[in-house]
A and B are shown apart, each in its own frame.
Chain A
Amino acid sequence: MNERRQVIVVGGGLAGQWASIRIAEAGHQVQLFSLFETLRSHSVCAQGGINAALNNKGEHDNVDQHFFDTITSGCYLANQPPVKALCDTAPELIYIFERMGVAFSRTPEGLIDQRRFGGMHHRRTCFAGASTGQQLLYSVDQQVRRLEAVQQIIKYEWWEFLAIVKDSDGRCCGIVAMNLRSLEVRAFRADAVVLASGGMGQLYAPKTTCSVNSTGAAASRVYQQGARIANAEFFQFHPTAMLGTDKTRLMSEAARGEGGRIWVPRQLNDRRDPTAIPESDRFYFLEEWFPRYGNNVPRDIASRAIWKVTRELELGINGDDRVYLDLTHLDPTFAELRLGGLLNIYRKFTGLDPLTTPMEIFPAAHYAMGGLWVDFDANDRGQLCPDSPRNHATNIPGLYACGECDYAYHGANRLGANSLLSTAFAGRLTGDAVAAYINGLEHSSDGLSPDAYDAEVRYQNRINHHFMHANGDCSPYRIHADLGELMTNNVGVVRDNGPLDSAIGQLYELEQSFARLKLGEVTPWANQSLAYARQVFDMVKLAQVVAFSARARDECRGAHYKPAFINQLSDDILTHHEAYELDQKHWQENNEQWLKTTIADYHPEGPRIRYDPIDTCLIKPEQPRDYR
């Protein structure tokens, strides 16, 4: 029996809780850190569902098809062995969730029901009513509570991770965190640290569907300590978010999956009430442009089509940045049952009923495909070795990353309902990798000298002191607002090198504006401004990585769309056979140059970008994605 060691998990979302459970099951003690009660993590927001090729709907679905869809949707940019394992393991994971108590919606025969989701031909998405993420998170939260009751897991809620601590060999041997109430900064020892800190949608605030705590600050902090970030330029913009000043709220893909139709009036400035516009005067542009997939085209294609309709064709409703997402033709009972959560959100925040009035939507920053670079271990047949300590290891020994903060599964674009799956899978795999890593460790962190820990605590206290007493004229709220606007306009749905260069310049200025910070709050107790200002600083650092990565990649791939470098196989022009052949040739040539993982290394003067090869051993990139 191995001795019981200490492991730190930062993040109580689906990924962090899964990792915690697995590490505890392996006999080690977990210290689980979260900014708030773990069950309030952003994972609760997922409405749509989770993919697994259970084939419960008689459509000959299978794990290979799921794998194929995930890889092609990601434009081949993901390493294939981990993705294959993800899809192979999905059914198993669903059944474990079921045992944990998730109330998955059922078929009349009592099996788990499945529905179609953007970009998929098969009904593959399992769901628990209209709140799948909530149900999945609660199921692991309960297991963690069970393990907490026997001290196998110890929770540190209301603690913010600030930095990792490294020993003299550069191994991660603990963290420094801040108590969000007392503001105490303290070091915690551990033999391994798992970062599961979620996404970074707040870089685009307020035009994001993410929670206010999805800042990416934690990932940025380890990046500034030497961890690599990969594929940061790939950010998914969800095509269907309802508009709002504080946040744009997601109208789940399920709305399209269950039959929702996207349209605008055919005529510019048609100001009639949408219900008064006859079919013949409606432009169902997704259905016309992509007859095979119709409204179920993947997110990036839908986002750009909406961008094109509003910005290029100027056919947005009343000339604005909005289009209709119409559910009024659906059977109300059916819609209520399947889309209840979404309908209620819309009603709540607009006072309008989507079953009688078409919803108005626009794309918003939703999901970061990129994130901390992590390793994997596979055999020569492309099969993942599930017990290897290399899986999900960052380039800093002893530091692991999983969940939305990693980059591993979604390539250039995430398939809808694949990320609850990847967070759960990654969390579990990471837990196993950490257990394997610890078994191979000769010394525990217990015996290390306190010097490195003390030094990091002092450093972090100095930052706090600086922020608390900064008496310039720049509010952190203002800096964040500027950041969001800049990212949305210049590093958003459509990219160009000119605006990207200017974004890079402006991001430096934002960073420098911290020299003139004004916190406006010196209270030493539960000072929210302090934590927030620190996050905003790290967000600016992370935004630089996104902008630099986007600037460096001169092509169109998945969510990264740079029209100046468009491939001939454009989304909307139906070409005949010869042109298609030519396109394919271009596509392959382009792949030779760009089918690579973007790697960003920290440097004080700005991220250094380079590229790594991708493991495409299972499905050769021979066919471009074609959605016509």
Chain B
Amino acid sequence: MTTQPPDVVPESADLILNRDPLLAFELGNDDSLPASSIDQIDLKIRRQDDPFSKPYWQQFRLPCQGKETITALLRKLRNQPVTIDGETVDPVAFDHNCMEEVCGACAILINGKPRMACSALIEEFNGMITLEPLSKFPIIRDLIVDRSRMFAHLKRVKAWITLDGTWETQQPPLRMSPHDVAVNYLYSRCMYCGCCMAACPQYDENQEFVGPATLAQVRLLNHHPLGQYEKTERLHRIMTVGGLSDCGNAQNCVRVCPKEIPLTTAIGELGRAVTWQLFKDLFGD
């Protein structure tokens, strides 16, 4: 995959980069990166150049320390993307932002399991580590996937509170029981990483199922004092194809969620709510 940059005469960096030109400086030498190798690790990475091309595998050997994360390794790899066969290739594209397991960006498959790369310490693994893009989502490039479906699903279930407006109301503040808030809090930490979707046998590009994280948001919003005003509508939206009944109760989702969100508890609660709703729909209330 080595591509030599075409032989163009670059315009002076200066002329282009500065909106007004500045005299060039005498330039010193650039010494190479320090490589403090305590240990080393082999990474086998599934790559794909764009959404339409074929995937292929490449293997890399990198110096590392046990307390480093997979994201830290991928960042190192950008510097010197040389395969184990000595071929210089394009750097591996990957997503990351917070590096604290809270933004949800860096979900990939590590040894086949959906995980956050930024919190996966190398010392957890033995031997070669395999990295692949998160399954169930269309691939953009290498380890980057397109998770926009998740957000479309959030729209579908009306995962919001309908505020009349962001103004002051002169009403006394809401009161909520500490216990209810503590339970809601569990669900409100979902960072939309998509790990649970990747693990769910019912979820994929060709099916309508909205997936466990989306269902958990329905559970969350239906329990908020204002969110519950639209409870019925949200329930109706998960009572159709692609909704709750598509869940096969395989429990995979809850096992991989990095935030330990009680997804199957939410799904169970929703099941009861939906049954009750069906009953109300049939006989009126």
Contacts and interface: CB of A to CB of B under 8 A. Distances in A.
Contacts of A211: 97-99, 103
B281 interface: no
A170 interface: no
A177 to B, nearest CB: 18
Contact of A98 (B13, B100, B174): B174
By secondary structure, the B interface counts as loop
B98 A106 contact: no
A351 B22 contact: no
Interface string A26-38: 0000000000110
Interface in A443-468: 462-463, 465-466, 468
Interface string A155-178: 001000000000000000000000
Contacts of A22: 166
B37 to A, nearest CB: 13
A349 B13 CA distance: 40
Nearest to B79: A477
> What is the interface residue range for chain A against chain B?
35 or more
A521 interface: yes
A521 B80 CA distance: 11
A516 B181 contact: no
B233 interface: no
Which residue, of A104, A110, A129, A345, has the highest number of chain B Cβ atoms within 10 A? A110
A51 interface: no
Given A99-B174, A509-B27, A514-B17, A520 B81 contact: yes
Contacts of B65: 245
A145 interface: yes
Interface in A89-142: 92, 95-96, 98-112, 128-129, 131, 134-135, 138, 142
Interface residues of B, number: 88
A481 B192 CA distance: 31
Contacts of B189: 129, 131, 134
A111 B173 contact: yes
Nearest to A43: B103
B35 to A, nearest CB: 13
B208 interface: no
Given A471-B5, A523-B49, A37 B147 contact: yes
A466 B141 CA distance: 23
B282 to A, nearest CB: 29
Which residue, of A40, A45, A519, A605, has the highest number of chain B Cβ atoms within 10 A? A40
Which residue, of B49, B151, B177, has the highest number of chain A Cβ atoms within 10 A? B151
A513 interface: yes
A622 interface: no
A99 B98 contact: no
Contact of B13 (A104, A148, A514, A520): A514
B121 A142 contact: no
A225 interface: yes
A37 B154 CA distance: 13
A92 B168 contact: yes
A469 B6 contact: yes
Contact of B161 (A41, A99, A465): A99
Interface string B121-148: 1010000000000000000110010011
Given A37-B147, A44-B102, A103 B119 contact: no
Interface string A13-57: 000001001100100000000001101111011000000000000
B103 A44 contact: yes
Interface stretch (A413-421, A524-532, A591-599): A524-532
A111 B175 contact: yes
Contacts of B161: 99-101, 142-143
B93 A528 contact: yes
A25 B166 contact: yes
Contacts of B104: 39-40
Given A37-B151, A428-B166, A106 B181 contact: yes
Contacts of B72: 245-246
A584 B147 CA distance: 58
B14 interface: yes
Interface in B176-219: 176-178, 181, 184-185, 188-189, 191-192
A509 B121 contact: no
Contacts of A103: 181, 184-185, 188
Contacts of B86: none
A520 B226 CA distance: 53
B259 to A, nearest CB: 9
Nearest to A464: B16
A517 interface: yes
A350 interface: yes
Interface string B92-129: 01011111111111000000000000010101000000
Contacts of A428: 166
B71 interface: yes
Given A350-B67, A509-B27, A36 B3 contact: no
Contacts of A100: 161, 163
Contact of B168 (A95, A519, A525): A95
A548 B68 CA distance: 36
Contacts of A511: 17
Given A143-B160, A146-B162, A528-B91, 10 more contacts: A36-B95, A40-B97, A98-B174, A101-B221, A146-B163, A245-B68, A477-B78, A508-B25, A515-B14, A526-B140
Question: Lowest 5 CB-CB distances: which A-B pairs, in order?
Answer: A110-B175, A142-B160, A604-B20, A515-B13, A246-B72
20 contacts: A25-B166, A37-B151, A101-B188, A107-B178, A110-B178, A129-B189, A143-B161, A148-B155, A212-B99, A224-B19, A249-B99, A348-B119, A350-B67, A351-B67, A469-B6, A478-B33, A512-B14, A512-B24, A522-B6, A604-B20
Interface of B: 3, 5-6, 8, 10-14, 16-22, 24-25, 27-28, 30, 33, 49-50, 65, 67-69, 71-72, 75, 78-79, 81, 88, 90-91, 93, 95-105, 119, 121, 123, 140-141, 144, 147-148, 151, 154-155, 158-163, 165-169, 173-178, 181, 184-185, 188-189, 191-192, 221, 224, 226-227
